[in-house]
Structure 1
Amino acid sequence: MFSLLAVSENNGITILASRLRAQISRLEPPHRLAGVDLARGLAVVGVFAAHLAVITPLEWGDPGTWSGLVEGRSAVLFAMLAGVSLGIISAASRRRRVGAAESADRSRPLWGLRTQLLLRGILLWLLGVWLDDLDVPVYVILPAYGALFVLAIPFTSLAARHLFALAAVLAVGAPFVVWWINSMVARSDDPVSVEESLRLIAWNYPLPLWLAFMLCGMATGALLMRSWKFAWPLLAVGIVLAVVGYGVVGPAGLAAVGVGPTEWWVAALSDAPHSSGVGEALGSGGFALAVTCAAVLVCMTPLRWIALPLRAVGSMPLTAYVVHIGIWAIWIAAETARDPGVDPSLGFRALDPFWPMTMGVLVGCTAWALLVGQGPLEWVLGKLTKAPRWRRR
């Protein structure tokens, strides 16, 4: 009897060890680019901090305010990494297309990718609109996320240099379009109703500008797909863009050279978080590019094992994001039921929800990644968008 129990226990341990090895291998190259997962994990935790923690406005000269880095920049990093993933997938599809022998077969990889992107975008938009209707005082990014996937469809066949060029044009030009649209909304007869309508197209993250982050990410992903060594020059470019955006283009930088403030350029050139100005586009875009490339370089060293929990979160960012919104909504409902006078934003943050929720998500995602594999929502989304019935025959 004891020998049978020992054999059964040893078999269980062997199966568990085999599963762990398989799932760890799934998170490692060449199956995944570990640094992109790490960057996504940092973006998710940054979004958690921006939503759940009391953040001091950032002043670059005061290290005590550096937690303010999460404001706005985490969301930009989130969007750019969506582009990085899409760039990697697009590059792989183009390789399959070039390798196809017949012209009819050559059309399949990109056709299938674009169909999946359309379906994925629609599903993410629907999920985001539903989450946005919950009693959570935050602008949910998923509607914009979904819309960006759809808008990116025509650009999936472009080379990296063309994607970078388009991203640069949008980063410099789109803020003026956004400023003009916002000014027209402010002067409308019923700005609240107009803003509510714009919410359905995710105008809280203005698509003309945020497409620049998506395209920059796509170009970055395409280059990283070719070689991780491209991370070095891209890191340098990101740092330069951040310095230019925050130190030169923004109103503070222009004021330093004697340009007097006027309403239009303060709005159009602002470097403040979520301002949609040129300063933010270059500064936050450069910051996101630098963080992504730095994470890729870190994960080319043994340090990637220390970052495994963050990488696990980054391997299932949709699950982590939706879970935190759901827990937040339930927590707020419970607190307001106990005390109807509690403020749903500041009052909730005063409860210090950031650390328990973040640690819970880190532990939960790590356990799921090692024992099960793909995140649950990522699995569902993959099944709905990659099922055989959606593929061209």
Structure 2
Amino acid sequence: MKSEDDNLNIPHTSAAHAELLPAAGGRSFRSDRVIGLDVARALAVFGMFGAHVGAVPDDVQASPSTWLGVVNGRSSILFAVLAGISVALLSGRTNPATGDDLVRARLRIVVRAAWVLAIGGALEALGTDIDVILGVYAVLFVLALPFLRWPPRRLLMAAGALAVLAPPAVLVLAQFVDAMDSQDAPFVSLAVTGAYPALIWWTFILVGLAVGRSHLDSVPVRRTLVAAGLGLAVVGYGGGWLATQWWAAGRPSEGPLDGAHHPGHWDPAWLSGAAPHSGTTFEIAGSVGFALVVIAVCLVVADRLPTATFPLASVGSMALTVYTGSVVAIWLIDPDDYVDNGPWLAYVLVTVVVAAAWRLVLGRGPLERLLTWSSTRAADPPLPRSSPERQLSSSQLSRPLR
């Protein structure tokens, strides 16, 4: 299988969406990336910036002053859905890989997951107040491996089942591990008790996998994404509000994970509502709907305005580097508190300028180069010097550019 340019998300080739970029010396080269997905990744990264350094409300309400709260929870879920799309595209897009190609795709994903886990661990060691999400992403990449050959319908059915069953299961498991005083064990934290429990987030990677198996350049598919996204948002956020009125009127809806601090004490309020990071079925449905709409809109806008969206696409094309750099920057600056959104805006502007300049001059981000090189070497070992394939490759590389 052909090696593909990737970052945290593992991009893919698509001639219909290839982006024309300027190169040094006035030349041009084609970067076979879906620009709209990179734009969506950039928005997800900027949303996580806001959650980290912005002075934003905890949740969105009717008042416009709360609307910036949309970044809480939804940005990271958008990124997880995009990761699922990228895994699908790496493993064959609309035609899932089989045989040796499937083995190589899985091996590349495992190598990338290992790097993402290691980078996430290093960022955690910095001791910032940020709940670093990379460790959970690494687990999700591995959890996606058994599903690479599944068709979209089965993937969506599995995602729906997880969306319903995972929240109460996590609640039960969280109560159990809390009673056993093992809630801080690394694996338990990643899977159940952490800020991003993998058992719940498994839904998002499967949804992305199903979307990635679709023809994303198709207008009907994009319309379906918007319609399905709006429907899920209404069901999730509307249903969460109704459930709160029925089950939890006058009581805080803490979510399953917060309920783990009270072993043996149960309250239906923990499974109601759709607040960010509550881990409820309603939050899952609403946030997936939000992600689908954002992805569809970004695909359309990027197709129509490829030049205007280039700076955003540059950020999205090196999302792992950008995310890692932001955590390191926050560690270095170490502010006591952010009282306004000035730092958020500064992070966004600096990131856009640096990422666009880097991509124009150097191409891939540094961490993306590392992941691509190491995963390709692992899955596609170097050919012997005497092999016809290597000789042919060398002769092609030695030809002058025309």
Instruction: Please classify the TM superposition score into its range, dividing by the shorter chain length.
Output: 0.7 to 0.9
Deviation at 1:313, TM superposition (A): 0.5
Instruction: Determine if contact 1:38/1:311 at 8 Å carries over to the other structure.
Output: yes
Deviation at 1:16, TM superposition (A): 2.9
Deviation at 1:87, TM superposition (A): 1.4
Once residues 341 and 296 of structure 2 are traced to their aligned partners in structure 1, the CA distance between those partners, rounded to angstroms, is 35
- Name 1:223's counterpart in structure 2: 214
Instruction: Determine if contact 2:50/2:71 at 8 Å carries over to the other structure.
Output: yes
Amino acid at match of 1:75: S
The change in CA–CA distance for 1:389 and 1:233 in structure 2 (over 3 A counts) is closer
- Name 2:14's counterpart in structure 1: none
- Name 2:160's counterpart in structure 1: 168
- Name 1:182's counterpart in structure 2: 174
Question: Any idea what the Cα deviations from partners look like across 1:98-126, whole Å, max 9, x if unmatched?
Answer: xxxxxxxx511100000111111111111
- Please give the secondary structure, in 2, of the residue aligned with 1:135: coil
Question: Any idea what the Cα deviations from partners look like across 1:315-372, whole Å, max 9, x if unmatched?
Answer: 110011001011111111xx6xxxxxxx3xxx25669422222211110111111121
Instruction: Determine if contact 2:55/2:338 at 8 Å carries over to the other structure.
Output: no
Once residues 378 and 81 of structure 2 are traced to their aligned partners in structure 1, the CA distance between those partners, rounded to angstroms, is 29
The change in CA–CA distance for 1:295 and 1:16 in structure 2 (over 3 A counts) is same
Once residues 117 and 191 of structure 2 are traced to their aligned partners in structure 1, the CA distance between those partners, rounded to angstroms, is 9
Name the structure where helix makes up a greater proportion of residues: 1
- Please give the secondary structure, in 2, of the residue aligned with 1:140: coil
Once residues 392 and 169 of structure 1 are traced to their aligned partners in structure 2, the CA distance between those partners, rounded to angstroms, is 42
- Please give the secondary structure, in 2, of the residue aligned with 1:275: coil
- Name 2:148's counterpart in structure 1: 156
- Name 2:225's counterpart in structure 1: 234
Once residues 41 and 271 of structure 1 are traced to their aligned partners in structure 2, the CA distance between those partners, rounded to angstroms, is 24
- Name 2:366's counterpart in structure 1: 376
200-209 or 123-132, which deviates more? 200-209
The change in CA–CA distance for 1:351 and 1:331 in structure 2 (over 3 A counts) is farther
Once residues 125 and 388 of structure 1 are traced to their aligned partners in structure 2, the CA distance between those partners, rounded to angstroms, is 17
Amino acid at match of 1:329: W
Amino acid at match of 2:373: K
Aligned to 2:242, which of 241, 246, 253?
Answer: 253
Deviation at 1:45, TM superposition (A): 0.4
Aligned to 2:104, which of 112, 123, 146?
Answer: 112
Total equivalences in the alignment:
346
Amino acid at match of 1:16: A
Once residues 298 and 224 of structure 1 are traced to their aligned partners in structure 2, the CA distance between those partners, rounded to angstroms, is 17
- Name 1:18's counterpart in structure 2: 26
Deviation at 1:195, TM superposition (A): 5.8
Deviation at 1:235, TM superposition (A): 1.2
The aligned runs of 1:286-325 (5 Å cut-off) are 286-302=289-305, 304-325=306-327
Percent identical:
32
The change in CA–CA distance for 1:389 and 1:236 in structure 2 (over 3 A counts) is closer
261-270 or 352-361, which deviates more? 261-270
Deviation at 1:253, TM superposition (A): 1.4
- Name 2:3's counterpart in structure 1: none
The change in CA–CA distance for 1:55 and 1:108 in structure 2 (over 3 A counts) is same
Amino acid at match of 1:43: A
Once residues 197 and 378 of structure 2 are traced to their aligned partners in structure 1, the CA distance between those partners, rounded to angstroms, is 34
The aligned runs of 1:116-127 (5 Å cut-off) are 116-127=108-119
Instruction: Determine if contact 2:59/2:276 at 8 Å carries over to the other structure.
Output: no
Once residues 317 and 32 of structure 1 are traced to their aligned partners in structure 2, the CA distance between those partners, rounded to angstroms, is 14
Deviation at 1:273, TM superposition (A): 0.5
- Please give the secondary structure, in 1, of the residue aligned with 2:161: helix
Deviation at 1:54, TM superposition (A): 0.8
- Name 2:391's counterpart in structure 1: none
The aligned runs of 1:307-386 (5 Å cut-off) are 307-332=309-334, 343=336, 347-348=337-338, 352-386=342-376
RMSD: 2.5
Deviation at 1:37, TM superposition (A): 0.7
TM-score, structure 2 normalization: 0.80
The change in CA–CA distance for 1:53 and 1:286 in structure 2 (over 3 A counts) is same
TM-score, structure 1 normalization: 0.81
Once residues 280 and 379 of structure 1 are traced to their aligned partners in structure 2, the CA distance between those partners, rounded to angstroms, is 35
The gaps in structure 2 that reach 5 residues or longer are 1-21, 252-265, 384-402
